[in-house]
């Protein structure tokens, strides 16, 4: 079910730093593991230290198993993987900013930011910041991360990429997009993690992708009796494994053929147009304006002014 995804896997220097949000399970786990197996230094940014540390142990054991079975083609020549945990709870802007501060203070470069963590069909709930939870976890906190980490990426050398693991959600709405409804009945639209407002930037490559239907823990938010739970039971038979789902992210993150190519949305690893609303400049501006207002206490005037004048 993984499709015909084929790209050249070249070793990655351990000096290249990769951050994967939600790297402890599902698509993020496989993505983080593969980036580390190719040689990069990977940070999994997760809300639970316990789940993250267990995931790191599993990644290392998967790697040792692979070496034992001599399945080492394209895999780094090392005894161990470089994967570490950093705390990040995207349902809290304070936690997100603390992650940024800790990363910035470390003085490390950043080459690849993989905005992967996400929740789906979550019951209507609000975060400590007063935002609808899916809106904040999937989109707003990733935007805050990106605002603060881009300057570091800009100073971190060549071929740096921001990957937004998105979904088909940008197409799933029957009413016209309205910024007034972002936090509520229109949240599926924002799972697209609307990066179009960022696309005018010319120093970092942005790639968005839809991994398709992947059999992960993403269903944990579904209510037991909901139509989603029943639909999932049916479509699960046709879904991809997390490793196959991660191929979509890895393509965007490491495919050398994409070096120099800017700002693409991938469906099945092929460039596709996003929904017309997502490409509408007026909507992009209103979403940016609204997002900046939600992040008011966590961004500087410099960031606000820089983004407003793009
Ligand atoms: N699976 C699919 O069919 C599918 C389809 C389209 C798009 N996607 C997208 O793919 C991405 C990965 O999803 P997945 O399928 O791998 O789901 P998953 O198995 O549920 O993994 C989601 C990850 O996000 C993390 N996360 C959730 N809330 C968080 C928070 N507040 N702060 C930090 N991390 C948080 C989870 O951490 P915990 O383990 O601590 O909960 C977990 O690591 C998501 O963006 C999802 O929207 C998935």
pLDDT in tens, 91-128: 999 999 999 999 999 999 999 999 999 998 788 899 99
Residues 145/150/156/160 CA torsion (nearest 10 deg): 90
CB 258 within 8 A of CB 252: yes
Residue 167's pLDDT band (cuts 50, 70, 90) = confident
**pLDDT, mean of residues 190-211:** 56
Largest CA distance in the chain: 55
pLDDT in tens, 232-276: 888 888 899 999 999 999 999 999 998 878 778 898 888 888 888
Residue 35: its pLDDT value, please?
Answer: 97
| Mutational test site, ligand 1, from 96, 216, 238, 267, max ligand atoms within 8 Å of CB | 216
Side by side, the strands of the sheet bearing 83-87 are 83-87, 41-46, 17-21, 112-115, 161-165, 205-210, 264-267, 270-271
Q: 3-state DSSP call for residue 18? A: strand
Does the CA dihedral 243-40-56-44 come out positive or negative?
negative
C-alpha 24 – ligand 1 centre gap (Å): 9
Q: Is residue 224's pLDDT more than 80?
A: no
pLDDT in tens, 79-91: 899 999 999 999 9
**Which range in 189-193, 225-229, 267-271 is most confidently predicted, on average pLDDT?**
267-271
C-alpha 302 – ligand 1 centre gap (Å): 31
Name residues contacting ligand 1 (CB within 6 A): 21-22, 24-28, 46-48, 51, 88-91, 116-120, 137, 165, 167, 191, 210-211, 213-214, 216-218
From atom 46 of ligand 1, which residue's Cα is the shortest distance away? 118
Ligand 1 atom closest to the Cα of residue 115 is 45
Residue 234: its pLDDT value, please?
Answer: 85
CATH of 17-308, one of 3.40.50.720, 2.30.29.30, 1.20.140.10, 3.30.1360.200: 3.40.50.720
Q: Is residue 192's pLDDT more than 60?
A: no
**pLDDT, mean of residues 180-196:** 54
Q: Give first-to-last CA distance, the chain, whole Å.
A: 40
C-alpha 77 – ligand 1 centre gap (Å): 30
Residue 221: its pLDDT value, please?
Answer: 72
| Mutational test site, ligand 1, from 22, 42, 87, 126, max ligand atoms within 8 Å of CB | 22
CB 119 within 8 A of CB 138: yes
C-alpha 11 – ligand 1 centre gap (Å): 27
Ligand 1 atom closest to the Cα of residue 91 is 31
pLDDT in tens, 3-50: 456 788 889 999 999 999 999 999 999 999 999 999 999 999 999 999
C-alpha 306 – ligand 1 centre gap (Å): 30
Ligand 1 atom closest to the Cα of residue 23 is 43
Residue 155's pLDDT band (cuts 50, 70, 90) = very high
Residue 16: its pLDDT value, please?
Answer: 97
For 308, the token pair is 């407003």
**Which range in 69-73, 141-145, 188-192, 200-204 is most confidently predicted, on average pLDDT?**
141-145
């Amino acid at each position: 079910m993984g499709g015909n995804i084929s790209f050249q896997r070249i070793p990655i220097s351990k000096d290249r730093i990769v951050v994967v949000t939600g790297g402890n399970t599902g698509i993020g786990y496989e993505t983080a593991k593969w980036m580390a197996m190719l040689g990069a230094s990977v940070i999994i940014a997760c809300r639970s230290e316990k789940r993250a540390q267990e995931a790191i142990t599993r990644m290392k054991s998967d790697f040792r198993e692979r070496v034992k079975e001599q399945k080492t083609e394209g895999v780094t020549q090392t005894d161990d993987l470089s994967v570490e945990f950093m705390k990040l709870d995207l349902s809290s802007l304070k936690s997100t900013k603390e992650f940024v501060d800790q990363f910035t203070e470390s003085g490390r470069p950043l080459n690849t930011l993989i905005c992967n963590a996400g929740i789906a069909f979550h019951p209507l709930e609000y975060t400590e910041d007063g935002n609808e939870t899916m809106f904040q976890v999937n989109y707003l906190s990733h935007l805050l991360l990106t605002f603060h980490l881009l300057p570091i990426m800009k100073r971190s050398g060549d071929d740096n990429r921001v990957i937004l693991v998105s979904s088909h959600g940008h197409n799933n709405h029957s009413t016209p997009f309205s910024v007034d409804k972002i936090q509520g009945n229109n949240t599926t639209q924002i799972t697209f993690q609307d990066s179009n407002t960022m696309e005018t930037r010319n120093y970092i490559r942005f790639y968005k992708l839809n991994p398709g239907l992947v059999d992960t823990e993403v269903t944990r938010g579904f209510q037991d009796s909901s139509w989603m739970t029943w639909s999932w039971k049916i479509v699960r038979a046709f879904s991809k494994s997390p490793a196959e789902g991660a191929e979509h992210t890895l393509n965007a993150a490491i495919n050398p053929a994409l070096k120099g190519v800017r700002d693409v949305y991938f469906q099945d690893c092929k460039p596709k147009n996003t929904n017309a609303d997502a490409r509408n400049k007026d909507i992009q501006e209103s979403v940016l304006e609204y997002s900046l207002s939600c992040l008011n206490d966590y961004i500087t005037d410099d960031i606000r002014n820089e983004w407003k004048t793009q």
